[in-house]
Structure 1
């Protein structure tokens, strides 16, 4: 019985590491894969380096983006955020509380 109780903290640490580190990383990778597959021509995106642009061409592993200064080629994995949906969302009016 003592052997099981001495092994319990190690088992608990493994479970905690899985729940707080490995599982969220796997979810993030899955979301990034879905994001990369959902891209299409005309989408406005932000790269991981912060460049804003519009997708002109999509290839197997690369994307051609018009960033205002000309056309640039990026890897699909370098794209961070898709802005087209966010730009088309209606703006919620600010609520002002009266005193």
Structure 2
């Protein structure tokens, strides 16, 4: 059975809650959905500690399950399988992280 777009959003939200925005009380965070003609863009952002860009690149590019980053890696892989495009992550140490992805609307 194919996962619904809501499953992917839920996975990302859970990763952010447990690893990022939920572990940093008092930080600003947001989850937005931007509707476009044939797709919707889900944007999850916080102003937390951010992630090291090299570690992030290795985590998503390695394909190895090693504890931290498994949820992001799995979500990225599933999005690529279903929609042809994975997570887009913009993170700066000390400034926060924005994770987004695009899902096609169903006809």
Q: Higher Cα Rg: structure 1 or 2?
A: 1
Which has the bigger relative contact order, CA under 8 A and spacing at least 6? 2
Question: Per residue, is there more helix in 1 or in 2?
Answer: 1
Same-fold status (TM-score > 0.5): no
